[in-house]
Structure 1
């Protein structure tokens, strides 16, 4: 028979029960506010993991911002930033006085508007179609197929389209064989915005689809079950459950796209600019390239780049504020939220 400990005397039991509680003003250790050094020590592994990404943004995105000082100088490379002559807003006035600048701005906005209206819904529709496929194997296969073009360079993509839509490509030959007029889409200035949008959709639709699919997986399945019990069909479940569920992600992507509305793809357009001519193929990115690199007009090129950055920032801030007013999160929390 196992030994049992003798019961405590009544006085000791009463003393243990009546032990005073710790002072109320003494916060638990876990709830105490940690100092900056303690937080760095606690999260040192995560901070080390984020260090390469942080260095990338500092070196390639924040440090180059100092170069915008060239926009206010008659910059000469052999003199450098410190000794070049300051000219104030003369570079901005010179850019705004050029018809080529306004032509490039119009082309940029036209291409951006076409891509925003006709390309932005493509990843959403593709994600909804993939999400409706019952077989996981087929869904993963299709998702991989549409995602792979994202890793193909623009040189190869333009070459592929040239072989299909160019003057000696497949489509003109088929049209000619049918007795129809041969059509070279690659050199048609009027079709240039649509050609760029088609190329972007083929290349980047899979990238956006992954983001939308991740948002679809976060929707509570019980909402679909409750909607089905209430008699909602597939269309009503789409409008009242699916789209509201992914609305925050769509708004986030839309705001980020607005910030890049004046950057419509430098490499893609530069490769095809000569085929359609500068009147249709000149955008702000190529305008900056030809003025800054080709013509050595560094001040005007930097001024146009600064205008692009200011407009993009204003669009992001304005769209984010509008999202807050409509009750959505946006890109970041406002100060009053």
Structure 2
């Protein structure tokens, strides 16, 4: 009896034993995941330790340990910064445009692509809408400036209609529409990949049963495809809402001009000017921490709402 008790005492917990067994059994899969884990550790988790410089007057020569602690000094400076309201408002407006106007486009596009029965036509359209994603924002920004320039397509059309040239890239009222259109053109096609993959996993028997009951193609899309796509939409929405205030430096920076700063200057471009060009590392880290905190609050809030209104809509 004592030997059995000792043997039981040295046995690994079931969870640890099963994890070790899974690793031995499925080691090729764990090996495939390893580069991704290393990426997140090196570029996401380890840099989080540098957030402490938001509470310091950081000096490159003194380092993290010897730099002077100043508490919330940089956060107070951010709130009291004269242009804080303008930058915060611009970021909120563009974030709302990204969430309300841009996010639904891949959903609609994937539903439309799914209804195309001609495979050759479907693949051709998919390729056409995917290609812009692989262009950098430097190239896209250059194309947009050429299109809206004095001798560009936009002004050539205006001239053919008897209208004068319009420098749209220098106009405040044109910046946000151009931001929205360029975002949709570049990223919407690639965003359909996940949705089309989710649609392909829907049981075809559901469509066959609905067709036998006399449901039209639109009715099948409305009552079968879209409801079964909602969990995927909610998951991606929650992932998207976490970066609500992080709109992407490249796009805005390549579309900005000095005349559109009042409507286009956001936290990302501000951090670049102050943090990189003026080397105010502590202050810009405080800005980044402020953005991340807002993103965390929004993710938790919307996740609770998703759990409340949908059985399988939340992330946790």
**TM-score, normalised relative to structure 1:** 0.85
Query: 1: distance between equivalents of 2:39 and 2:259?
Result: 36
Question: Aligned match of 2:146 in 159, 163, 169?
Answer: 163
TM-superposed CA distance for 1:311, in Å, is 1.1
Does 1:233 pair with 2:216?
yes
2:70 alignment counterpart: 87
Pair 298,184 (structure 1): closer, same or farther in 2 beyond 3 Å: same
Question: Aligned match of 1:131 in 108, 114, 119?
Answer: 114
Query: 1: distance between equivalents of 2:20 and 2:98?
Result: 47
Pair 40,191 (structure 1): closer, same or farther in 2 beyond 3 Å: same
Does 1:323 pair with 2:311?
no
TM-superposed CA distance for 1:150, in Å, is 0.8
Query: 2: distance between equivalents of 1:150 and 1:237?
Result: 30
Does 1:220 pair with 2:182?
no
Question: Aligned match of 1:56 in 39, 57, 60?
Answer: 39
Query: 1: distance between equivalents of 2:237 and 2:315?
Result: 14
Query: 2: distance between equivalents of 1:88 and 1:200?
Result: 38
Unaligned runs of 5+ in 2: 1-13
Does 1:312 pair with 2:295?
yes
- Of 226-235 and 134-143, deviating more is 226-235
1:268 alignment counterpart: 251
Query: 1: distance between equivalents of 2:292 and 2:154?
Result: 40
TM-superposed CA distance for 1:154, in Å, is 0.6
Please give the residue correspondences for 1:179-198 in structure 2 after superposition, counting only pairs within 5 Å. Answer: 179-198=162-181
Query: 2: distance between equivalents of 1:276 and 1:266?
Result: 18
Pair 190,228 (structure 1): closer, same or farther in 2 beyond 3 Å: same
Pair 167,100 (structure 1): closer, same or farther in 2 beyond 3 Å: farther
TM-superposed CA distance for 1:34, in Å, is 3.0
User: Cα RMSD over matched residues?
Assistant: 1.8
1:92-130 superposed Cα distances (whole Å, 9 cap, x missing partner):
000000121221111011111112222122111211221
In terms of Rg, which structure is larger?
A: 1
1:10 alignment counterpart: none
Question: Aligned match of 2:278 in 265, 288, 295?
Answer: 295
1:173-193 superposed Cα distances (whole Å, 9 cap, x missing partner):
221232113222222212212
1:56-83 superposed Cα distances (whole Å, 9 cap, x missing partner):
1111111111111111001111111111
Please give the residue correspondences for 1:107-118 in structure 2 after superposition, counting only pairs within 5 Å. Answer: 107-118=90-101
Aligned length: 303
TM-superposed CA distance for 1:246, in Å, is 0.5
**TM-score, normalised relative to structure 2:** 0.90
Query: 2: distance between equivalents of 1:168 and 1:73?
Result: 51
